[in-house]
Amino acid sequence: MANLQKGVIGKVVHFLEKKKYIYEIIVVDDESHDGSIAFVENFAKENPHITHIKNRHSGKAGAVTTGILQAKGKYILFTDMDQATPIEEVEKLLPYVESTYDIVIGSRDDKRKGSPWTRLFISKSMILLRKIIVGLPDITDTQCGFKLFRHNVAQKLCTKMLTLHHGFTNISGSAVTAGFDVELLCIAQTMNYTIKEVPVNWLYVETRRVNPIKDSLDGLVYLFKIRQNYMMGKYNE
């Protein structure tokens, strides 16, 4: 709710209108209880380009997958609500997806402006572990919440994710699901989709949903599951 009150949706709308893009904004609510639903619904009444989806509580993976599968545009961008990567950065990604690439992902620099040293340490440790356990050696930053896809590519990837996870299960508490991005890109690579990593501006935004220790342990377990799925051939089309 705090991010909504900062006017992030309004900023996104203002940019898209200014650029005269044909667009839709899909906000997936992961069973929030802080007034977010009413806020978005009121905003949507004033803007027909905004769609609000009430999702069962299945964490980031379920919310992102639901939104992507509902999207209708030629290109699909998923971005974090806090807009740590401003919507304007999409202009750095568009030229690549409009040419030869299937997926273009935002990449933060090593300094991660504003991040506390503990988050930087955990982040770099997880990058090393991800490369050792899963691979994706050519990708530096799998976790930046700013990824652009061709429509058909995003739909196929998320359909594959739903099948693998049996539609995702209900959870309790917060779940950032760090492994979701890694798995999505791992499947994309297995399906021979082309991926481009592009540096974007990013600023650390504090959030109470992130528990560095718990989320890191969950992410590590997820990495081993991804490795197991890969070895068993579950990602093959």
Residues 198-233 pLDDT 10s: 999 988 776 655 666 777 788 889 999 999 999 999
Which is higher by pLDDT, 69 or 175?
Answer: 69
Q: Could you report the per-residue pLDDT of 54-66, keeping only the tens digit for each?
A: 888 778 888 899 9
Q: In terms of residue numbers, what domain contains 105?
A: 2-231
Backbone φ and ψ for 65, nearest 5 degrees, come out as -60, -45
Which residues does residue 25 pair with via DSSP β-bridges, in sequence order?
A: 50
Domain annotation covers residue 158: yes
Tokens 């402006």 belong to 113
Which residues does residue 78 pair with via DSSP β-bridges, in sequence order?
A: 147
- The rounded distance, in Å, linking the Cα atoms of 193 and 101 is 8
Number of domains in the chain: 1
pLDDT of residue 179: 86
Torsion angle (degrees, nearest 10) of CA 60, 208, 93, 23 = 70
Domain annotation covers residue 237: no
Q: Determine what percent of the chain is predicted with pLDDT higher than 90.
A: 51
Q: What band does 190 get if pLDDT is binned at 50, 70 and 90?
A: very high
Domain annotation covers residue 150: yes
- The rounded distance, in Å, linking the Cα atoms of 156 and 229 is 18
Answer yes or no: is pLDDT of 112 > 70. Answer: no
Which residues does residue 79 pair with via DSSP β-bridges, in sequence order?
A: 146
Alpha helical stretches, state H, the chain = 2-5, 8-18, 36-46, 59-70, 90-97, 117-133, 151-164, 179-190, 212-231
Backbone φ and ψ for 54, nearest 5 degrees, come out as -90, 110
Find, among 62, 9, 11, the residue nearest to 176 by Cα: 62
Give the CATH number, domain containing residue 103: 3.90.550.10
Find, among 191, 172, 202, 183, the residue nearest to 87 by Cα: 202
pLDDT of residue 139: 94
Domain annotation covers residue 40: yes
Max distance between CA atoms of the chain, in angstroms, equals 49
- The rounded distance, in Å, linking the Cα atoms of 219 and 129 is 10
Give ∠ CA 203-208-213 in degrees, rounded to 5.
90
Domain annotation covers residue 236: no
- The rounded distance, in Å, linking the Cα atoms of 178 and 158 is 16
- Packed helices 179-190 and 59-70: angle between N→C axes, nearest 10 degrees: 50
Domain annotation covers residue 64: yes
